[in-house]
Amino acid sequence: MKKALIALAVLGLTGGAAVAQSSVTLFGVLDADVKYVKTGSLTLKKLDSSGLNTSRFGVRGTEDLGGGLKAGFWLESEVNTDTGVAGAASGGAFWARRTTVSLSGDFGEVRLGRNKSVSRLHVEDFDPSAFTGLGNVGVLYSNLGSGNGTSFGRADNQVSYSLPGNLGGFYGAVDVSAGEGVGTNKGIAARAGYKAGPLHVSGAYATTSNAADTDKFKLASIGAAYDFGVIRPAFSYTENKYQARKQEILTVSATAPLGQGQLWGSYTSAKTSGEVGFATVGTPKLLALGYIYNLSKRTALYTTVAELKNDGTTRFILGGSPATVAGAAGLGAKSTGFDVGIRHSF
Per-residue x/- marks for a copy of itself, 62-81, CB under 8 A? -x-xx--x-xxx-x---xxx
The 10 Å CB-count burial string (b at 16+, else e) for 280-304 is bbbbbbbbbbbbbeeeeeeebbbbb
CB of 193 to a copy of itself, least distance (A): 26
Which of 93, 250, 252, 254 lies at the binding interface for a copy of itself (CB under 8 A)?
93
CB of 29 to a copy of itself, least distance (A): 9
Which of 10, 89, 252, 263 lies at the binding interface for a copy of itself (CB under 8 A)?
10
Per-residue x/- marks for a copy of itself, 162-201, CB under 8 A? ----------------x-xx--------------------
CB of 344 to a copy of itself, least distance (A): 5
Per-residue x/- marks for a copy of itself, 261-300, CB under 8 A? ----------------------------------xxxxx-
324-343 residues near a copy of itself, rule: CB under 8 A: 342-343
Strand runs labelled E in the chain = 23-39, 42-49, 56-66, 69-78, 98-105, 108-116, 154-162, 170-177, 187-196, 199-209, 216-226, 232-242, 245-257, 261-273, 285-294, 299-309, 334-345
Cβ closest to a copy of itself, residue 157 vs residue 313: 157
Phi, psi of 227 (to 5 degrees): -95, 105
* 62-70 long-range contacts, CB within 8 A, separation 24+: 62/21, 62/22, 62/23, 63/10, 63/14, 63/18, 63/22, 64/14, 64/18, 64/21, 64/22, 67/105, 68/105, 68/106, 69/103, 69/104, 69/105, 70/103, 70/104, 70/105
Nearest residue to 334 (alpha-carbon basis) of 306, 310, 305: 310
CB of 63 to a copy of itself, least distance (A): 6
202-261 residues near a copy of itself, rule: CB under 8 A: none
Which of 103, 201, 250, 331 lies at the binding interface for a copy of itself (CB under 8 A)?
103
Binding residues with a copy of itself: total (CB under 8 A): 75
Which of 47, 211, 244, 326 lies at the binding interface for a copy of itself (CB under 8 A)?
47
Residue 26 binds a copy of itself (CB under 8 A): yes
With H, G, I as helix, E, B as strand and everything else as coil, classify residue 339.
strand
Q: How far apart are CA 219 and CA 204, in angstroms?
A: 8
Residue 114 binds a copy of itself (CB under 8 A): yes
Cβ closest to a copy of itself, residue 35 vs residue 200: 35
Cβ closest to a copy of itself, residue 226 vs residue 346: 346
With H, G, I as helix, E, B as strand and everything else as coil, classify residue 17.
helix
CB of 60 to a copy of itself, least distance (A): 9
Give the alpha-carbon dihedral of 315, 319, 321, 327, to 10 degrees. 20
Which of 1, 24, 163, 289 lies at the binding interface for a copy of itself (CB under 8 A)?
24
Q: How far apart are CA 224 and CA 231, in angstroms?
A: 14
CB of 287 to a copy of itself, least distance (A): 25
CB of 11 to a copy of itself, least distance (A): 5
Stretch that binds a copy of itself, among 132-140, 157-165, 209-217, 266-274 (CB under 8 A): 157-165
Phi, psi of 63 (to 5 degrees): -130, 130
Residue 54 binds a copy of itself (CB under 8 A): no
For 260, counting Cβ atoms within 10 Å of its Cβ (0-12 exposed, 13-18 middle, 19+ buried), the class is exposed
Q: How far apart are CA 175 and CA 135, in angstroms?
A: 27
Residue 19 binds a copy of itself (CB under 8 A): no
Stretch that binds a copy of itself, among 61-69, 139-147, 201-209, 302-310 (CB under 8 A): 61-69
